Every structure is written in structure tokens, then in C-alpha cells.
Amino acid sequence: MKTEAAVKDRYANAAKAQEPALCCPVDYDPQYLKAIPAEVIERDYGCGDPSRYVRSGETVLDLGSGTGKICFIASQVVGPEGKVIGVDMTDDMLEVARRYAPVVAQNIGHANVEFRKGRIQDLALDLEVLDAELKKRPITDAASFLAADELAEELRLRRPLVASDSIDVVVSNCVLNLVEAGAKPQLFREIFRVLKLGGRAVISDIVSDEDVPLHLQNDPELWSGCISGALTEEAFMQAFEDAGFYGIEVVKFDIQPWRTVEGIEFRSVTIQAFKGKQGLCFERNQAVIYRGPFKEVLDDDGHRMIRGVRYAVCDKTYNLYRRAPYAGFFECIEPLNEIPLTDAQAYDCARTIRRHPKETKGQNYQATTAERSQCVDGGSCC
């Protein structure tokens, strides 16, 4: 809680006056900044631009939204058919964001942004609703303290700040490192919870190239300054995997460190990770071929595939490989005779086996065809 208090105090002050030490140099698309008031831009801090990976019509959740810069950029990208939700725990940041939301809406011609008060590691608890309830029944003794705890749990279940399976893309800009170490696993689970099946997280944050020693972790100034709470590059990726994400990739990695403290380099990275590998596995005689360039690959479900070899996969994996971030790395081969999903048998996805072509074509396939008169690319075949 000392860590959280230090973060809250520092960012409350940073909402009132610009603090350059909290910000990495980031090139935001200038066309989107034109509609955003200067105070928002000056007092919003970050180390990347996850809004570059947002698409039209999506519902976006920004964790640690601050004065709203990323939200206001995303609101223009998603357009009037989309929606943007910012979550922050600092009243001073929320005040600036909410004050300028109508201004931005007028500038861009649509209003699709709202700001909610909450802790990003507990996206089910609406702190403003809790505040209102506690004013009616304040904490005065141990019994009322326990009752408040029960109230918070009831609010999480009945009136969640962000509902499960409701968000297309979760973004965050240099905020996850500010969360206390013991709460970080819950934070990643919460990101996973609120995403729709098929949704994704795009997170820009500060990571370290070595473990941060304990004496640096115990420095509140360095913690609130995006240093002490940084995960290592490897641990950051592992946190997404542990939460259940797949297709995890580094989409931006700053070679030059933002800061170096006691020989440890701290730099900005942006990670994209997907939710959607959950669910049952069915056999529909589909096959995939890894195209390369590596000799072999190992996917997030433990399937090891050598390039150029035809492999059996379940229907779920087959469809995952056809979408980002795998699209382009695999040839996906449909069976000659489609097996309806309603008729498909369960498939053991724990194994990795080759698919004989006759399984896909059909065991009785005996066709003989004439040569093509022209190659697919328009040239003459030999």
C-alpha cells in the first residue's frame, strides 16, 4: 500500500503540473493530437503508443488512462461506432480527463469516451460506487470494516466496473509497472477476464534487462518513477503466458534504454497478446504446413512443427493459425469433404502428429487431372 500511495500522490501532482521525468519520448500521430487540448497532452505520461494497434469500431479499455490522451486518440481511431473506456485511480487525473472529454467530442464530432475510477488490478470494483455506498454506511469499527469488505465483493459481482468478456482490445501506456509486485499476477488475470474471446491486449511498458534488486524495489520515488516495479523482459512476456494469452509478440522494442540505474537498463517495449485458444478441440481433417523461415517452431500449446511438413490440428487451432498473428506463416488446407462441426469427433490436442494427405483428400481419392495450362502466377509452367 505504501507503493500505491506513492504512485497516487506523485501522479496527482503530475496532473497539476507537468513532470518530464515520468515520460519517455514518444512520437504520436500528429493528426490525432490536433483535437486534444494542450493540458491533456502535457500532463499525460507514457512510454509508447498502443493506440496505433487499435481498429475502427472496437471497444477499447485503457488501463491507467491518466488525463486521457490515449483514450482521446483511440476515440478517433475507433470512430463513432466504437467505444473507449479509461480507468484510473487518481482523482486529479480523472478530473482533467472528464473536463476535456466534451471538448474533444466536439472537436471530432462524436462522443464515445467515458472515464471510470478503479484500480487496474481490480477491474471489477467501481471505486466511485463504493465511495457512495460507504458515505451511507461509514466504517467506524471492526464490524463495519468487515461489512465494507463484503460490500466490495458484492459490487464486484453485481455491478462490475468492467464486465467480463466485454472488451475488444485492452491498451495501457507505462502503467503496469506501477502496480505492486504481489498484485501483478491478478492484474494480468483481470486483463484476460475483461477481454472477449478473440480479443487482444496491447501494452506499452518499461521493462528491465536484469532483475531489479530489493533496495531499488523499496524506493518509493523510483517505484513511482517507473523503475522499481519494472518486470524483466522475460518476466513480462511470461506474465502474459501465465494469464492464458497466446500469440504473444514484441511489436516494438527500444534498443536505447530510457534510463540506466546501477548498470540495469530500463527501456520501453510494446507487447501484443491474444485471448482465444480456450475451448474444446474437434477433428475435422484439416491440415497445416509451417512455411518457415525457421527450421521448426513451437506454439503456445506445445505443438512442435518442422517447416514444410503437413500436420494434423484441431479445428480451433486451424482457425487460430488463419488469423493474426500467425496468418502468413502457415498454409491452411481444408479437407476435400468438409466435416460439419456438429459431426466432428473430439481431438487430442496434446499430441503433434503428421497428417497424411489422404486424410484430408479422403481415403478413396483417386483423381487424375491434366496439367494446368498456365501457372498460378501467370507465367508458363515447364
User: What's the CA angle centered on 197, arms 196 and 201, to 5 degrees?
Assistant: 65
Specify the pLDDT at position 19.
52
Specify the pLDDT at position 16.
56
Specify the pLDDT at position 45.
75
As a whole number of angstroms, the distance between CA 232 and CA 116 comes to 30
Beta 231-232 vs 195-208: how paired, if at all? parallel
The answer to whether domain 2-124+160-274 has CATH 3.40.50.150 is: yes
Specify the pLDDT at position 369.
86
As a whole number of Å, the CA-based R_g of the chain is 25
Paired with 232 in beta bridges are: 208
Tens-digit pLDDT profile for the chain (382 aa)? Answer: 456 665 556 555 555 555 555 566 688 899 999 999 999 988 887 889 999 999 999 999 999 999 999 999 999 999 999 999 999 999 999 999 999 999 999 999 999 999 999 999 999 999 999 999 999 999 999 999 999 999 999 999 999 999 999 999 999 999 998 898 899 999 999 999 999 999 999 999 999 999 999 998 888 777 667 788 899 999 999 999 999 999 999 999 999 999 999 999 999 999 999 999 888 999 999 999 999 999 999 999 999 999 999 999 999 999 999 999 999 999 999 999 999 999 999 999 988 999 999 989 888 888 888 876 666 666 665 5
Contacts of 239 (CB under 8 A, 6+ apart): 184, 185, 188, 231
User: What's the CA angle centered on 227, arms 176 and 174, to 5 degrees?
Assistant: 35
Q: What is the dihedral of CA 209, 212, 213, 216, to 10 degrees?
A: 130
As a whole number of angstroms, the distance between CA 228 and CA 221 comes to 9
Specify the pLDDT at position 12.
55
pTM score, two decimals?
0.90
| Crossing angle of the two packed helices 91-108 and 69-78, in degrees rounded to 10 | 30
Q: Residue ranges per domain, the chain?
A: 2-124+160-274, 282-361
Specify the pLDDT at position 363.
85
As a whole number of angstroms, the distance between CA 264 and CA 194 comes to 34
Q: How far is CA 126 from CA 63, 160, 296, in A?
A: 14, 6, 47
Cell (9 digits) for 328: 502468413
Specify the pLDDT at position 224.
66
Return the amino acid letter for 325: P
Q: Which residues of 284-307 are buried (b: 16+ CB within 10 A; e: fewer)?
A: bbbbbbbeeeeeeeebebebebee
The topology (CATH level 3) of 282-361 is Ribosomal Protein L9; domain 1 (3.40.5)
**Same topology between domain 2-124+160-274 and domain 282-361:** no
Cell (9 digits) for 187: 492484474
